[in-house]
Chains A and B, each alone.
Chain A
Amino acid sequence: MIYNLYIFDRHCVCIFYIDWHRHRKSGGIMGSNNAGTTSTTTSMNGQPDGGDSGGSSSSPAHSAAANNHLASHHSTTSQLTSATSMFSDSRLVNIEEEAKLVYGVVRTLRNLVNKLSGNQDGFISYRTSNYKLHYYETQTGLKFVINTDPSTDSLRPVLRQIYTNFFVEYVVKNPLAPVGHPGGEGVNNEYFKAAVDKFVKNLPVFDS
């Protein structure tokens, strides 16, 4: 079961985020206490005061979230800062903060592993009792992070495919996406989002 996907660029900015089966994991909370809402799937820009173009309408991934049996409302607001993610300790953190946390974890682990393992890409994934995080970094500093349930095999080839088949095709080769995507601009376009969504949903591990 695949939970969500982040893409960070080499300037430590989260340029793309999409989620699927995102719900509370702890304590079997079914529909009660929806103080938190599922995070909207939008891209992020570097400014902390919420996206303007980034916070636009819900994406195709939201219709996928509808088949999530837990009745969590997804927020339809367009302000990024009001979207919250859910942590089991009921501390509501918004999506930007969450992305920064993820980036921090990933970067620290990567530096640590690289120091230990020498010159090649050391850090591939890590696993906790609740989830498994898979990581793929390109030569240009793009970082692809995907979270799945703990029993999934390595999704590194999947991440690599997302990069070569979708990111390069629909973002890098998109004339309307500025080169270098300052602040994540141009990454969250229609074709890329739709292609990644369709691809991930067709993976065998998606629903398992």
Chain B
Amino acid sequence: MSVLPAAISPFFTALAAGDDASSTTSTALTAGGSSKPILVNESCLEFLMMEMVDLMYRTTADSENDKESVYYKLEVLGYQVGQSLVERFTRDRPRFGDTLDVVKFICKDLWTIIFKKQIDNLKTNHRGVYVLQDNNFRWFLRMSTEGGGAEATKKAVPYLWFPCGLIRGALANLGVVSVVIAETTVLPQCTFQIKIAKS
């Protein structure tokens, strides 16, 4: 088994393989598949994710469209991670029937792997638009500010861009080209809207 290319994917792999326990952070999987699952401390991953958004803000030069470039960077990062994740986790599955099956895979399996829970609500208009709703988004569980809900909601938006990219990358690698937009009204709830491109 080859070592996964993206740096972040091994964290998710390990999370899926076992629960959080502090252990080695080695990323190599031994050949033959007989090894014990490699575990990663969940707090490490959380801190890394938190720092990721801050890092993007810090390393983007103050120019007129810096918010755009932060969005772009986070989304592309998520895109690549999503592609790798899907490569790894659809290994043993049967083929997907149609786009709805792909979206359902994302809602159930992929979300469980990354966030340890499923998407709470999936809506579609059967014409290529899907709305995924997560009522208890894991990264929002501890977000709060002094000013209360509205201010926290505004500040929480950049943290949704990476998952947007994740979904888009996952879909893309399964053959579905899409555009993903995220929004949140009340923490810890958030919604992702997927628009499938007409082919």
Give me the interface of A with B, judged by CB distance under 8 Å: 43, 53-54, 56, 169-170, 173-176, 179, 186, 188-192
Instruction: Give complex CA distance A81, B51 in Å.
Output: 34
Instruction: Give complex CA distance A175, B152 in Å.
Output: 10
Does B159 contact A190, Cβ atoms closer than 8 Å?
no
CB-CB contacts below 8 Å: B80-126 with A: none
Does B156 contact A176, Cβ atoms closer than 8 Å?
yes
- 10 closest cross-chain pairs (CB), A and B: A191-B144, A190-B144, A189-B144, A175-B50, A173-B142, A174-B142, A176-B155, A189-B145, A188-B146, A176-B143
A-B contact pairs, 28 of them (CB 8 A): A53-B146, A53-B147, A54-B146, A170-B142, A170-B144, A173-B43, A173-B46, A173-B47, A174-B142, A174-B143, A174-B144, A175-B50, A175-B54, A175-B159, A176-B143, A176-B145, A176-B152, A179-B51, A188-B146, A189-B144, A189-B146, A190-B144, A190-B145, A190-B146, A190-B148, A191-B142, A191-B144, A192-B144
Instruction: Give complex CA distance A192, B152 in Å.
Output: 14
Does B144 contact A175, Cβ atoms closer than 8 Å?
no
Name the A residues within 8 Å of B139 (CB-CB): 175
Instruction: Give complex CA distance A109, B78 in Å.
Output: 51
The residue in chain A whose Cβ has the minimal distance to the Cβ of B50 is A175
> What is the 8 Å Cβ interface bit string for chain B, positions 24-52, against chain A (1 contact, 0 not)?
00000000000000000001001101110
Interchain pairs with CB closer than 8 A, number: 50
The number of chain B residues touching the other chain, given as a range, is: 20 to 34
Name the B residues within 8 Å of A188 (CB-CB): 146
A23 to chain B, nearest CB (A): 26
Name the A residues within 8 Å of B145 (CB-CB): 176, 186, 189-190
Instruction: Give complex CA distance A87, B27 in Å.
Output: 60
